[in-house]
Amino acid sequence: MMLQFDFNLLEFLNGLPWDRISETSWRYITALFLLAALILVSRWQGLGIGNKLVVGTIRGTIQILIMALFLVSIFALENLIIIFIVLTFMGVFAAHTVRSNLDHIPGAMSASLPGILIAGLSVMFISVLLGIIPVIGEYIIPMGGMVIGNSMTMSSLVIDRMWSNAQKQRSLIETALSLGANPTQANELTIREAIRAGLLPNLNRYASLGIVSIPGLMSGMIIGGEHPIVAAFYQVIVFIMIFLAATICGFIISRMFLRKMFNERYQLLVPPLQK
């Protein structure tokens, strides 16, 4: 398959729905008043999050607008390979985010990258292959983003739990090793608990679907004009994809990260907790 990048900026700009963009941007500006109110509350209550809210809103708006423009061009290309390259990029960025959040833990990036990519991309690929989701960017990229995002959360949780457990419960791990356990056996309980904990927020949302809240994908589709029944089906589909990818990701990452925590002599390399 040939990859063609036949891009015309003028044509691209002319194709944008300026009337709807203009209307929504007024709504956005009005919403900034709510943000200003929030900043005032923050100052009044001494929460100290005012600056973060301002910077976060500016940076977030720019990032998400760039993403939106990028998505418009990707959707227009209708090329599955490019769509999966975009998902790969999202996976790499997710692994980078895990490393940034866990910068005190060595090897977080190299452990999380294969887990996020293998789990995220394989679940998306199989879903496309089986016809669970339509072969168009408008579906694959947002749903892929949710799958990868949840795999990213799972990665952070598994790595953080395994590391902190190795520090706090050092004697338990070394007792297991002293009995001849391999690193996987010595950590099996921690790994299982971490994966369960990683799935828990979504399991809670799953259990309360439609009663307590209308989740992100369904809300988005309804706002976008889709029929609520169709949106409801997609919501359950995406939950199943998220659970599958996050679980696969958790198992891959735990195995990868064990190689960072132990050497080939099964000696624990994690330093003890500093008192």
Partner 1 sequence: MSTISLLEFKNVAMAYDGIIVFENFNLKLLNGETVGLTGPSGCGKSTVLRLAVDLVSPVSGEVLFKSQPVNEWEPTELRRRMVLVPQEASMFTGTVEDNLKWALDIHKMDYREGEFERVLKDVLLDIEYLGKVAANLSGGQKQRVAIARALLLKPDVLLLDEPTSALDMEATLAVEEAINNLIKVSDLSVLIVTHNKEQARRFTSRVIEME
Residue 8's φ and ψ, nearest 5 degrees, are -120, 115
Closer by beta carbon to partner 1, 20 or else 265: 265
Of 173 and 256, the one with the shorter C-beta distance to partner 1 is 173
Name 268's bridge partners. 262
Count Cα neighbours of 152 within 13 Å in the Cβ-side half-sphere: 21
Coil, helix or strand for 262? strand
| Contacts to partner 1 by CB under 8 A | 169, 171-172, 174-182, 185, 189, 265-268
Report in angstroms how near the CB of residue 110 gets to partner 1 at its nearest.
23
Question: Among 217, 31, 37, 191, which residue's Cα sits nearest to residue 115?
Answer: 191
In sequence order, what are the residues at sequence separation of 6 or more whose Cβ sits closer than 8 angstroms to the Cβ of residue 201? none
**Cα 157 to Cα 153: distance, rounded to the nearest angstrom:** 6
Closest separation in Å from C-beta 204 to partner 1: 24
CB 259 within 8 A of CB 133: no
| Closer residue to partner 1 in complex, CB, 43/168 | 168
The nearest distance, CB 201 to partner 1, in angstroms, is 24
The least CB distance from residue 173 to partner 1, in Å, is 9
Report yes or no: 115 and 256 within 8 Å, Cβ to Cβ.
yes
Confirm if 81 and 3 have CB atoms less than 8 A apart: yes
Q: Which is nearer to partner 1, 73 or 267 (CB)?
A: 267
Question: Using the 8-state DSSP alphabet, how is residue 233 labeled?
Answer: H
- Give min distance, CB of 107 to partner 1, in A: 20
Q: Is-contact 246 154, C-beta < 8 A?
A: yes
- Rg of the Cα atoms in the chain: 22
CB 175 to partner 1: min, Å: 4
